[in-house]
Structure 1
Amino acid sequence: MAFSFSSYLTHNSLCLLTLLLLLFLASQSKRCHGFSSFGFDIHHRFSEPVKGILGIHDVPDKGSREYYVAMAHRDRVFRGRHLAADDIHQKQLLTFSPDNETYQISLFGFLHFANVSVGTPASSFLVALDTGSDLFWLPCNCTKCVHGIQLSSGQQIDFNIYNNKRSSTSQIVGCNNSLCEQQSQCSSSSATCPYQVNYLSDDTSTTGFLVQDVLHLITDNDYQTKHVDPRITFGCGQVQTGAFLDGAAPDGLFGLGMGDISVPSILAKQGLISNSFSMCFGIDGSGRITFGDDNNSLDQGKTPFNLKPLHTIYNITVTQIIVGGNVTDLELNAIFDTGTSFTYLNNPAYTQITRSFDSKIKLSRHSSSASDSLPFEYCYGIRSNQTVEVPNINLTMKGGDNYFVIDPIVLISGGGANNVLCLGVLKSNNVNIIGQNFMTGYRIVFDREINMLGWQESNCYDDEIFNLPVNRSNAHAPAVAPAMAANPKVTSSESNDQRRLPSSHSFEIKPAFAFTVALVLLLAIFLAYL
């Protein structure tokens, strides 16, 4: 057999190239190193399934004036730890004139829920999701909990209670455990670890002790679906006070903060996921939370978290506000809070964004009256079937990436010529909060491994395959026009040729799939040279 030096070089170069490519692809995908992702569907507080389970029926119709007034009031009352609003300590009822309808605001509670399964045998709990706290807790061995409610029809709805003694996989957490934060309250290192978490300014808290048990998960990965039952530490909540007794989170609360005791932190420490999670909010109100979702995508916007000791909130910096082409260099810190319905800004940011919006939109300001009680300052009358050009809003984040607000407006249906369009931004007297209305249409990634917030447009259903690109270079590039239901018609103020491609024009291959395809192709080429 003849020996060819050139063939020898080609063969070895190919081997080296193959190795380098494989190493590169592996480095680009954390999931190729054994990480998986797990997820739950997200349900809005006022979705039909949640209303049925929690027995909530005295809620105004979505899209009505009463609905948005109540939601804004809910923000201020329930997120009192963030907002220094005047009405935090006001009574918990709202009465609307002229029809004098009254709604029980105390039942509004947390904004999003997910169904989780814990223990052996498995029990399901519809838990509230909270990015502003760390601890996952369930009502357990209750001495003061909400056991259920009785509807006006007489029907009794019972809430789920965890019993650590009935789960064969449950264990008490001792005071010598590294996750026991209240060791000073322990009589000895072998004693049961107590916990207490205070949430709001109105004495809302949960108290109990820590336990360990299994959390039942199923991988999200299409190429490898399997059941995983990691052991997690969570609170056995014996006593609930304040809003919890009014139904704020009757089945418990799932903390998503940065602390070591949060479930994402525990799963990451066990090597099951990368230390990150994402939340996606669709236009229709449905969504998805995924543990282990990270900032791998090259067309994903990113900005660093502002880390402060003892803080678990996800705080970022905005460096520039662009409204319909009006550019303002204005630096502000803001919390990305998935539990707040609307966006709250301090001055001068509030004045800048609202007045720029007002100067660009070609509508007459709605004359507010006492009977309106609208929480939004900048509202406009609009006729049915009227086409409106809505100014685009873009927040330039620290690091230079652009965050285009997909759906900044609120449409309040009044019938006929009484429809009102409002900018969904309210004035804050304390901290700046980017609320869920500014996150709608995005997959928001809370990547604690690299301390970055990420975002990528998504419809929350097939975001693993189809994604809209994020334009990082053109600060004036428009967002997709706000998606409104039928009337009135709303369009972007920029020309159509500036719009980004629809999702069907942008195809992203999953990291694991790309890795597999590249591996097969390279091995085929390698074998062809043998």
Structure 2
Amino acid sequence: MMMMMMMNMWWKWKACSNSILLLLLMLIMLLAMIDGGCGMKLELIHRNSPNNNETSTSLVERITELYERDMVRQQHMIYRRLRHTHSHSTRRKDRETATSIAMRIRSAADYGRGEYFVRVKVGTPGQNFRLFVDTGSDLTWTKCRYHCKTTNCKSLPVRLVQGEGRLINNKRVFRADFSSTFNTIPCSSPMCKIGLSHFFSLATCRNPTDPCFYDYGYMEGSRIIGFFANETVSVNLTNGRKEKLQNVLVGCTEYMEGDFRAADGVLGLGFSKYSFTAHLVEEFGAKFSYCLVDHLSPRNVSSYLLFGHVIVGTKLLSNKQYTKLVLANELGSLYGVSVSDISIGGVLLKIPSQVWDVNLGGGTVLDSGTSLTYLSAQAYDLVMAALLKSVSKLQRLSVDGVPFEYCFNSTGFDESLVPRLRVHFTDGARFEPPVKSYIIDVAMETKCLGFVSSEWPAPSVIGNIMQQNHLWEFDLEQSTLGFAPSTCT
């Protein structure tokens, strides 16, 4: 019966086609019926299965290979989907799925500073510089020396350099004259008079050929004076290649007041139209991230500052959480977060709500350029009182030169007895820093409660020591902040 049925099928198929494909289909159906079922059953063997004789690597090597293939596959699928749904996308849309900028970020502890820095090349040919990473400011600048190329142009106005600062004359300085891509921004241009006004540009021109000068101040009292230019900045990409970023707004700083010994300038990552971050949005997407290693790490220990949507693998110690970024006019170009309270040992401190309200002069910002964590007096008093209970039995010390109210002899200190501090965000996310981020080593056998009180009204500041050993991911398009504890490796 079975043979008759097969012969009938054969003559019908032959009348329609002599295709080899139909012969294969007939063979498969015959095998399926012989097996006693009405469907097709094929054995699937994983490429890393022990039954696959082509596989001879160890389990660890197999898992590693599997992960690497999966990552390549995922990126390829995302890329294809975006190409399909946005066939008329700009160059940035294609680039954001392809690669990212990767800068190694290091602690400046070896230089006696509390900031973090990256190394970049500025100009053509590139000159190497060490720049502080600062999410709390907009201007990217280097110590600089420049001779105007026109007869009527002077460099710095004499009236600006009568303070207690100094002209730049050290060896590590950007020699703008040696760069073929250095282009000053004219003082008489609309960009100087209007666009750069929030950068403290000095739009009063002595001569039409003068560059656009700035007199830029920082919150801690430092001051720099120089002029604006467009320049090429060379960076490394996550795919191993190098990229030349053209027409990046940079400051050529010729005079300064304050301590910038450990760095040659600042990489301004603030949320503004002309910051370094804003320049990269068009090419790499509106996302950047960093992971800050322990603030006492030597300079040979590093992690990454990344711009773009392809993230270099960083080991996370728990799932990533997300909270809203507050990008409000009241905070200028600072990155704010919406805090609702702080708890110590699981107990909410019931800090007055106006402390966290940006519309009432409060709020909270995340700042990589500030080392310590500042709390307005109402929050500070409650946090300090709750933490003091765990260290009050240890000998209190007076330490000259530190801004902390309470320091103690750490002999016999047991970190496990310290109640955990958590920052609670209004949307339910919670940030729990390690104890070492708020009970800080300041000297041999000496620790301090690492908070500083700030006068009201002012936003509270989560500084870089509190941020250490965490991945922070800023998505400027979605206005979200992702974070998770990490080894930063």
Both structures adopt the same fold (TM-score exceeding 0.5): yes
Query: Partners in 2 of 1:280 and 1:358 — Cα distance?
Result: 30
Shift of 1:349: 1.1
Query: Partners in 1 of 2:281 and 2:79 — Cα distance?
Result: 27
**TM-score, reference length from structure 2:** 0.64
Shift of 1:434: 1.0
Q: What is aligned with 2:169?
A: 147
Query: Partners in 1 of 2:172 and 2:395 — Cα distance?
Result: 44
2:466 to 438, 445, 456: 438
Shift of 1:147: 2.3
SS class of match (2:365): strand
Shift of 1:336: 1.2
Distance change (3 Å), C-alpha of 1:299 and 1:455: closer
1:26-425 aligned at under 5 Å gives the runs: 33-35=94-96, 36-47=99-110, 51=111, 111-142=115-146, 145-148=167-170, 158-163=171-176, 165-174=177-186, 176=189, 178=191, 180-182=195-197, 185=203, 193-200=211-218, 204-220=222-238, 224-243=239-258, 246-248=259-261, 251-269=264-282, 271=283, 273-283=284-294, 285=297, 286-292=302-308, 299-308=320-329, 311-330=332-351, 331=353, 332=356, 333-359=363-389, 361=390, 364-369=393-398, 375-383=403-411, 388-407=416-435, 408-412=438-442, 414=444, 419-425=445-451
CA contact (8 A) 2:372 2:462 kept: yes
Distance change (3 Å), C-alpha of 1:202 and 1:326: closer
SS class of match (2:339): strand
Which one has the bigger helix percentage? 2
Q: Deviations over 1:77-106 (max 9, x none)?
A: xxxxxxxxxxxxxxxxxxxxxxxxxxxxxx
Query: Partners in 2 of 1:355 and 1:365 — Cα distance?
Result: 15
Q: Deviations over 1:187-229 (max 9, x none)?
A: 6998565031421478743333322222111112xxx332211
Distance change (3 Å), C-alpha of 1:321 and 1:24: farther
SS class of match (2:306): strand
CA contact (8 A) 1:345 1:425 kept: yes
Distance change (3 Å), C-alpha of 1:228 and 1:189: farther
- 2:104 maps to a residue whose letter is D
Q: Does 1:448 align with 2:460?
A: no
Query: Partners in 2 of 1:375 and 1:187 — Cα distance?
Result: 42
CA contact (8 A) 1:344 1:433 kept: yes
Q: Does 1:428 align with 2:454?
A: yes
Shift of 1:422: 3.0
Q: Number of aligned pairs?
A: 365
Q: Deviations over 1:111-135 (max 9, x none)?
A: 2222110221111111222222212
Query: Partners in 2 of 1:37 and 1:118 — Cα distance?
Result: 19
Shift of 1:381: 3.9
Query: Partners in 2 of 1:412 and 1:184 — Cα distance?
Result: 41
CA contact (8 A) 1:364 1:380 kept: no
Query: Partners in 2 of 1:365 and 1:385 — Cα distance?
Result: 8
CA contact (8 A) 1:206 1:237 kept: no
SS class of match (2:422): strand
Query: Partners in 1 of 2:331 and 2:207 — Cα distance?
Result: 24
Shift of 1:176: 4.3
Shift of 1:384: 5.0
Distance change (3 Å), C-alpha of 1:443 and 1:257: same
CA contact (8 A) 2:327 2:334 kept: no
- 2:168 maps to a residue whose letter is V
Shift of 1:427: 1.9
SS class of match (1:433): strand
- 1:126 maps to a residue whose letter is R
Identity of aligned residues (%): 21
- 1:161 maps to a residue whose letter is F
In the alignment, structure 1 segments of 5+ residues that lack a partner are 5-18, 52-58, 60-107, 149-157, 462-530
Distance change (3 Å), C-alpha of 1:189 and 1:23: farther
Shift of 1:446: 2.9
**Structure 1, 191-200 or 439-448: larger mean CA deviation:** 191-200
Shift of 1:266: 0.8
CA contact (8 A) 1:26 1:33 kept: no
Shift of 1:445: 2.2
Instruction: Report which of the two structures shows the higher radius of gyration computed on alpha carbons.
Output: 2
Query: Partners in 2 of 1:341 and 1:450 — Cα distance?
Result: 27
Query: Partners in 2 of 1:21 and 1:111 — Cα distance?
Result: 37
**TM-score, reference length from structure 1:** 0.59
Distance change (3 Å), C-alpha of 1:386 and 1:352: closer
